[in-house]
Structure 1
Amino acid sequence: MNHDAYPDYYLADILRETKTIALVGASPKPERPSYRVMAFLLRKGYRVIPVNPGHAGGTILDQPVVARLADIGEPIDMVDVFRAASALPALVDEILALPALPKVIWGQLSVRDDAAAAKAEAAGIKVVMDRCPAIEYPRLVG
Structure 2
Amino acid sequence: MTDLELQAYLQRARTIAVLGAHKDPSRPAHYVPRYLWERGYRILPVNPRFAGEELFGVRTVASLGELSQPVDILDVFRPPEVLLSHLREVLALRPGLVWLPSGIRHPGFEEALKEAGIPLVADRCLMVEHRRLLGTP
- TM-score, normalised relative to structure 1: 0.88
Alignment partners' CA distance in 2, 1:113 and 1:14: 23
Shift of 1:30: 1.1
User: Which of residues 58, 62, 86 is equivalent to 2:57?
Assistant: 62
Alignment partners' CA distance in 2, 1:136 and 1:82: 16
Which deviations, in whole Å up to 9, do the C-alpha atoms of 1:15-42 show, x marking residues without a partner? 1222111101111111111111111000
| Partner of residue 24, structure 2 | 29
| Partner of residue 96, structure 1 | 91
Q: Does 1:109 align with 2:135?
A: no
* Structure 2 residues without counterparts, runs of 5 or longer: none
Q: Is the contact made by 1:28 and 1:61 (CA closer than 8 Å) also made in structure 2? A: no
SS in 2 for 1:97: helix
Percentage identity across aligned positions? 37
**Matched residue type, 1:89:** L
Which deviations, in whole Å up to 9, do the C-alpha atoms of 1:35-57 show, x marking residues without a partner? 11111000111110000001101
Structure having the higher helix fraction is 2
Q: Is the contact made by 2:43 and 2:56 (CA closer than 8 Å) also made in structure 1? A: no
* Structure 1 residues without counterparts, runs of 5 or longer: 1-5
Between Structure 1 and Structure 2, how many residues are aligned?
Answer: 135
Shift of 1:88: 1.6
Q: Is the contact made by 1:24 and 1:83 (CA closer than 8 Å) also made in structure 2? A: yes
Which deviations, in whole Å up to 9, do the C-alpha atoms of 1:58-86 show, x marking residues without a partner? 11233210000110111111110011011
Q: Is the contact made by 1:88 and 1:112 (CA closer than 8 Å) also made in structure 2? A: no
SS in 1 for 2:7: helix
| Partner of residue 51, structure 1 | 46
**Matched residue type, 1:52:** N
SS in 2 for 1:79: strand
- Name the Cα RMSD after superposition: 1.3
Alignment partners' CA distance in 1, 2:5 and 2:45: 25
- TM-score, normalised relative to structure 2: 0.91
